[in-house]
Structure 1
Amino acid sequence: MTEEDEEQFRRESMPRTYTLRQRWADYRAEVRANRPKGAKARVRAWLHVEPFYWGMRAAYVVLVVGAVFAVYINGVANGWWHAWGEKPTVAATTPAARPAPSASSPTDAAMSGGYQIGPDGVLVRPAEHAASTYTKPELPEEAKENTERGAELAAEHAFSLLIYAWNTGDTQPFADITQSGDGFRETYIDKVKKSYASGWTYGMHSSITRIVKVEPVSEQKWGAQPNTIGVQFKTVTSNGVTCVNQKISTDESEYRSSVTLFMTWKNEHWVVTDGDISNDK
């Protein structure tokens, strides 16, 4: 035996390397050889399997359908594509565009300067400054006495009820302590009612800085009713925030005034029978 023959014998007798690719090729060849002939036979072979494999197939189908549906929902949510049956519009391609609020819109309340516009066209009063947030002033016990001090305290109380009326629109407490038909009374009640017919006021406050005089006034000199005490005092007032229709004005500046009230003792209590408020220059 020559060296060439010996080398060839050695190569042929060595074990061959059986690669994964060769295994897969052999498996595919075996499957093709055992595959039923014809489409009908293949369908029958596919159907006639054990229940376990049917369950596996159903699970695969459910997983695939779920994955496709999840991708679809995520794509619609992120705007990658439109929902099924949705017709794309110009507005759909510009998500940043928002419709302007209008009074007729059921979802977007009309606004003006940060205030909501009410159905009557008047700006809505802020809830934190609603009339219900103001407490009605209480009449001091000493103001129920028929004395000059009682008249003084009753006059101060009447003035505080006027400020309360401006801040709430409730003029009844002021009307209860003033005489019906008096010019001073009717003038200020009319002013408050007209103001609240087309707006509102809040934040008005006033403080009494000095009592000027408290003394009886005569019918002969002043035309006052019997049992009347004149009370005059100085005040510092700030108008706060006022709304007229859709216009807001804020005035925090303070101004000084002189208040004069004629307090008359009638039916066991003090009543304002005349008055005047004038600005001090």
Structure 2
Amino acid sequence: MIRTSACSAVPAARLGALGLAAILVLGGCSGSSGDPNAEAAELSPLTSERAEPTENATSSATPSPTATYKPATAEGAAENVPLPVMPELAKEESAEGLRAFGEYWFSLVNYGFETGDSAPVMEISAQDCERCNIFYADLEEGYVNDDWIHGGKININSAGTQFVKTPQGRYQLLLSIRQEAVANRGPNGKVFFEHQIDKTTTAQIMEATYVSDHWVVNLVENM
């Protein structure tokens, strides 16, 4: 059965930094759910393969050192964050491909939290994806001047799809997610926003369209 949206439109007023966290995970229609399977039946663990970096056959015997990744702390922003690589499976128009793509999309959201860079998400999301647009704006606000986002990683516990097109030609992916503690920080110990880790899970729905040879996210919202 195709699930229809039950959410009302997002208010136009600014919701502060971390809009995606506040709307996509912490807020939404019905908030967190202790039993997302009641809404998203037949969810299965997400086990898509990740693309491994290939070794350059022409590299010299003494390659240049790779910058070390450092996660964000209360004292400063993350450093040298690696950009997630889309797995080949996520390029397929199939149920497995949609699940892999959904995981990849959220990995780019997490990359945005750590870097302030929304461009990777923007490249694979529709221009009228309302919550995506809020994410871009609030991510920019979260990294204004010397501010940064600490934490907020979104973990996908499970995902499933019946892989049936909606009347709009989209496929729906139902997910169970959990977000880690998150804070918007600034220099000299400033804290503009803070939310402790929520041990409950949230059921979400993603709608995506397969265009030519790739997926595009049209909608993401809480169920």
Pairwise TM-score range, normalised by the shorter structure: 0.5 to 0.7
Conserved 8 A contact 1:214-1:232: no
The answer as to 2:198 corresponding to 1:254 is yes
Aligned to 2:123: 176
In the alignment, which of 233, 240, 244 is matched to residue 175 of structure 2?
233
- Within a 5 Å distance, the mapping from 1:1-281 to structure 2 comes to 130-197=77-144, 199-219=147-167, 224=168, 226=169, 228-243=170-185, 247-248=190-191, 251-255=195-199, 256-277=201-222
Larger Rg: 1
Structure 1 195/217 Cα, relative in aligned 2: closer, same or farther at 3 Å?
Answer: same
Structure 1 gaps, min length 5? 1-124
How far does residue 253 in structure 1 lie from its aligned partner after superposition? 1.9
1:127 and 1:208, CA in 2 relative to 1: closer, same or farther beyond 3 A? closer
Normalising by structure 1, report the TM-score: 0.47
Count the aligned residue pairs: 148
Task: List per-residue Cα deviations over 1:42-66 (Å, max 9, x = no partner).
Answer: xxxxxxxxxxxxxxxxxxxxxxxxx
Q: CA 1:151 to 1:195, structure 2 compared with 1: closer, same or farther past 3 Å?
A: same
Which structure carries more relative contact order (alpha carbon 8 Å, separation 6+)?
2
* Contact 2:74 2:185 (C-alpha < 8 Å) held by counterparts: no
Question: Post-superposition shift, 1:157?
Answer: 0.9
How far does the alpha carbon of each residue in 1:214-263 deviate from its partner, in whole angstroms, 9 at most, with x for none?
432322xxxx3x2x210011111113342157622654523422221111
Q: Partner amino acid for 2:118?
A: T
Q: Name the CA shift for 1:253/1:239 in 2 (closer, same or farther; >3 Å).
A: closer
TM-score scaled to structure 2, two decimals? 0.58
Identity over aligned pairs, percent: 21
- Bigger fraction of residues in helix: 1
Computed over aligned residues only, the root mean square deviation of the Cα atoms, in angstroms, reads 2.6
Conservation of the 8 A alpha-carbon contact between 2:77 and 2:148: no
